């Protein structure tokens, strides 16, 4: 796995807090990836925009190489409001962690299950904001992986889901990252460079 020796911060809802997050973290850690999970039951894109202080404190302590936002199941907002929430998430993380690219991954909600349409709508908003760094995850789960609520995975389903998701994350994220530590080392060697880089990102986000 090309993400070996990297650190990923995965921020999301009950999928991150529960069996899915645990299974994905275990699979990635077995391949040499350091994984930090920040999951909260019921979290949505909009609710995350009110939780930045705590999440960014975790991010600041971890210094991740990349951030993965795993949401969608609880995104009851739609259209402009939902895109604005994801834009805010992207901007805040980019400003706080200028060297850590931010990716979006939607919950699994295969066609025919109760939350499929909602998650697909969230995927569209994620794609609008994150572009190639948005990973459509609805169909990375199978109907037989889901529990009776259609909102979560069974224990076995979580393992199968993680088996599918880990290589997708590895491929998508590794294509974005530069050689380990080079960018951060260069910035840290130049006085004030990281602060200046962050100011440039803030200015672009305000345009």
Specify the 3-state DSSP secondary structure of 73: coil
Output the pLDDT for position 201: 43
Evaluate whether residue 192 is within a structural domain: no
Residue ranges making up the domain that contains 118:
7-180
Note whether residue 203 is domain-resident. no
Across-strand partners of 135? 105
Mean pLDDT by 10 residues, the chain (207 residues): 94 98 98 98 98 96 97 93 97 95 98 96 97 98 97 98 98 78 48 52 43
CATH assignment of the domain containing 121: 3.40.50.1110
Sheet holding 134-135, edge to edge: 34-39, 7-12, 66-71, 102-106, 134-135
The C-alpha atoms of residue 79 and residue 39 are separated, in whole angstroms, by 25
> Which pLDDT belongs to residue 190?
52
């Amino acid at each position: 796995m090309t993400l070996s020796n990297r650190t990923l911060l995965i921020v999301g809802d009950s999928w991150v807090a529960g069996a899915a997050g645990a299974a994905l973290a275990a699979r990635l850690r077995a391949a040499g990836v350091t994984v930090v999970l920040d999951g909260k039951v019921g979290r949505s894109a909009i609710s995350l925009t009110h939780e930045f202080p705590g999440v960014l404190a975790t991010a600041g302590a971890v210094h991740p190489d990349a951030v993965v936002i795993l949401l969608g199941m609880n995104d009851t907002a739609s259209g402009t409001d939902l895109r604005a929430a994801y834009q805010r998430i992207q901007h805040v993380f980019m400003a706080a962690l200028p060297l850590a690219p931010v990716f979006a991954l939607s919950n699994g909600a295969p066609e025919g299950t109760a939350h499929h349409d909602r998650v697909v709508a969230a995927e569209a908003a994620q794609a609008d904001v994150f572009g190639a760094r948005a990973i459509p995850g609805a169909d990375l789960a199978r109907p037989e992986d889901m529990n009776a609520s259609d909102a979560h995975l069974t224990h076995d389903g979580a393992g199968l889901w993680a088996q599918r998701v880990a290589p997708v994350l590895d491929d998508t994220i590794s294509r974005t990252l530069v050689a380990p530590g080079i960018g951060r080392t260069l910035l840290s060697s130049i006085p004030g460079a990281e602060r200046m880089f962050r100011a440039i990102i803030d200015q672009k986000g305000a345009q």
